[in-house]
């Protein structure tokens, strides 16, 4: 037996979808305007997840030009059929619903095939023999209220690469006025077809519902116990919230589990974003029962698996600047490996691009996901900024909500500055003169408090960072931290030079 603690994926890894091939599980997540798009994780025990690659790495696969941070890539589904992996997702910033394929889930993945007549989001695939079906969500043609959606199916001709025959509506929610019926996944289990879906919206009322039918096209009967999983009945004080958007998986030994998203807010704010949780599933009267006898996602669960791969992956993330760029690194709107940056002798030469974090372009920012509220991130930077140039570390939620700890020049003097931006309010939190061209920048998080140190000097009072999250600033992502350089809308041929990014996360 092995013990698995929730969440199984900490930090901004929402909308999980999972498939199994022999003894390996593969899981994918939404990435919005971050790039590369859609990380692929592999596990042989549902506990230890190893990042093996990304589905959308090439520019031609991932068009995010001008995308706001919470636009871009939504809710992928991963499936395996006859030697080929399929990922289907939505690019809400261009092209809509598309699928890609790969023989090896590490990649390379194919170029996207966009499905022109597929309205809505949250696409999924279901295979039966050699026929492939598209299942998606869409707003009803004549919605009776906001969030009035339906789940629909249509055959997908993989040779012609388009939807064929007629779309059929399968289900529009388990309640009378279900809002946001979405995130559908369809399975055939025994003699029945099961449609799993999310309802209630991805916030406090989020849930998982199920319906079943003897025939693929329905009619689908709603489970009398719907929603089969939610945390809304536990109230706002329960530490895990917003549970929903699940995908089922059967182990080789015939045991069932569900992965789903959830949040761990503190004071109503979930800066880590939507994370991925796991629950056990049994079957009663032909219906799935999630976490039987408990009525919520367990804090930890024991599953039968061999103990030999019990390696717990340390959440420390030292990023060495060597080719190829560490897979944990993310950028905005394009793969950070395509920035005009250079890696040499273990150092990163990050150009002072004109772009800032407010611009919906590709700023010189290379980040990693925040995995815990307790963290210590440090970097040494060589920089001789001039004019408008600035560089340093960022704690980033979105274009209008971030903290930057930077070195810049003003009237011939170098200064270390901390800036916190919350919407239209931008505050210079602390400023101090510094000397020399080598600087140590350190961000330390404890709860929802951030302390900034530059050259071993504490930069003002600790900052309250809880508002830098979706609950206060809108959107769907979680926070990232990383290195940054900008010449703030001016041209500069120069770079800041960073040593390795040292990051430690504790539970």
Smallest distance from ligand 6LW to CB 299, Å: 24
Output 203 or 386, the one with its CB closest to ligand 6LW: 203
**How far is the C-alpha of 62 from the C-alpha of 110, rounded, in Å?**
12
Q: Residue 335 in contact with residue 327, Cβ under 8 Å?
A: no
- Give strand pairing partners of 156: 132, 163
Quickly count: other Cβ atoms within 10 Å of residue 294's Cβ.
Answer: 12
Binding residues vs ligand 6LW (CB under 6 A): 14-15, 30, 74-75, 121-122, 180, 182-183, 198, 201-202, 245, 476
**How far is the C-alpha of 175 from the C-alpha of 179, rounded, in Å?**
9
Q: How far is CA 379 from CA 440, 456, 458, in A?
A: 6, 12, 15
Is 15 one of the annotated active-site residues of the chain?
Answer: yes
Q: Which of 15, 247, 280, 326 is catalytic?
A: 15
The answer for residues whose C-beta is within 8 angstroms of residue 479's C-beta and 6 or more apart is 12, 271, 272, 273, 369, 370, 395, 396, 397, 468, 469
**How far is the C-alpha of 450 from the C-alpha of 91, rounded, in Å?**
33
Smallest distance from ligand 6LW to CB 228, Å: 17
Q: How far is CA 209 from CA 17, 69, 196, 222, 230, in A?
A: 16, 29, 6, 8, 9
Smallest distance from ligand 6LW to CB 206, Å: 8
Q: Which of 122, 182, 334, 415 is catalytic?
A: 182
Output 198 or 368, the one with its CB closest to ligand 6LW: 198
Output 183 or 445, the one with its CB closest to ligand 6LW: 183
Smallest distance from ligand 6LW to CB 472, Å: 17
DSSP 272-332: T-SEEEEEEEEEETTEEEESTTTSS--SEEEE---GGG-PPPP----B---SSPPTT-BEE
- Give strand pairing partners of 209: 197
Q: Which of 80, 155, 76 is nearest to 122 (CA)?
A: 76
Smallest distance from ligand 6LW to CB 261, Å: 8
Is 409 one of the annotated active-site residues of the chain?
Answer: no
Q: Kind and range of the H or E element at 506?
A: strand 502-506
Question: How is residue 152 written in tokens?
Answer: 């629909």
For strand 182-189 and strand 162-171, is the pairing parallel, antiparallel, or unpaired?
Answer: unpaired
Q: Kind and range of the H or E element at 470?
A: helix 470-473
Residue 307 φ/ψ, nearest 5 degrees: -85, -5
Q: If DSSP codes are grouped into helix, strand and coil, which group holds residue 233?
A: helix
Question: How is residue 189 written in tokens?
Answer: 């289990």
Q: Which positions are catalytic?
A: 15, 182
């Amino acid at each position: 037996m092995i013990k698995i603690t929730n969440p199984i994926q900490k930090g901004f890894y929402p909308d999980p979808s999972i498939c199994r091939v022999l003894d390996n599980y593969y899981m994918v997540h939404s990435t919005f305007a971050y790039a590369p798009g859609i990380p692929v994780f592999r596990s042989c025990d549902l506990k230890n997840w190893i990042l093996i690659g990304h589905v959308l790495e090439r520019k031609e696969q991932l068009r995010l030009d001008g995308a706001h941070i919470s636009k871009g890539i939504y809710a992928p589904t991963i499936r395996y059929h006859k030697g080929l992996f399929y990922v289907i997702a939505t690019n809400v910033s261009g092209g809509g619903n598309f699928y890609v394929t790969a023989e090896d889930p590490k990649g390379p993945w194919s170029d996207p095939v966009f499905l022109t007549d597929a309205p809505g989001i949250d696409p999924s695939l279901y295979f039966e023999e050699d026929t492939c079906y598209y299942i998606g969500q869409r707003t009803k043609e004549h919605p009776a209220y906001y969030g009035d959606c339906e789940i629909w199916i249509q055959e997908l001709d993989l040779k012609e690469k388009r939807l064929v025959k007629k779309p059929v509506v399968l289900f529009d929610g388990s309640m009378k006025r279900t809002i946001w019926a979405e995130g559908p996944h369809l399975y055939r289990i025994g003699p029945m077809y099961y449609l799993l879906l999310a309802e209630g919206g991805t916030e406090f009322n989020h849930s998982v519902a199920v319906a079943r039918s003897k025939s693929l096209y329905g009619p689908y009967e709603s489970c009398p116990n719907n929603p089969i999983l939610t945390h809304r009945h536990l109230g706002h004080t329960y530490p895990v919230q917003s549970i929903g958007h699940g995908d089922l998986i059967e182990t080789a030994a015939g045991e069932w589990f569900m992965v789903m998203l959830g949040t761990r807010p503190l004071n109503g704010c979930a800066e880590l974003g939507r994370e991925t949780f796991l629950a056990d599933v049994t079957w009663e009267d032909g219906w799935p029962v999630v976490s039987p006898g408990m009525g919520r996602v367990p804090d930890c669960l024991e599953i039968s698996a061999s103990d030999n791969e019990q390696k717990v992956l340390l959440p420390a993330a030292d990023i060495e600047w060597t080719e190829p760029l560490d897979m944990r690194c993310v950028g905005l709107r394009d793969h950070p490996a395509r920035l005009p940056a250079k890696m040499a002798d273990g150092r990163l030469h990050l150009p002072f691009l004109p772009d800032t974090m407010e611009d919906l372009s590709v700023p010189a920012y290379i980040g990693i996901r925040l995995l815990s509220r307790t963290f210590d991130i440090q970097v040494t930077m060589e920089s001789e900024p001039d004019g408008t140039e600035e560089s340093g570390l960022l704690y980033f939620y979105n274009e209008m909500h971030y903290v930057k700890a930077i070195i810049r020049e003003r009237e011939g003097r170098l200064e270390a500055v901390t800036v916190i931006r919350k919407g239209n309010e931008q505050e210079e939190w602390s400023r101090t003169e510094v000397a020399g061209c080598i600087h140590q920048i350190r961000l330390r998080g404890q709860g929802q408090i951030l302390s900034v140190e530059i050259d071993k000097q504490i930069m003002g009072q600790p900052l309250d960072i809880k508002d830098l999250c979706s609950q206060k600033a809108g959107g769907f992502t979680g926070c990232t931290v990383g290195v940054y350089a900008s010449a703030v809308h001016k041209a500069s041929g120069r770079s800041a030079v960073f040593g390795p990014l040292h990051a430690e996360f504790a539970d």
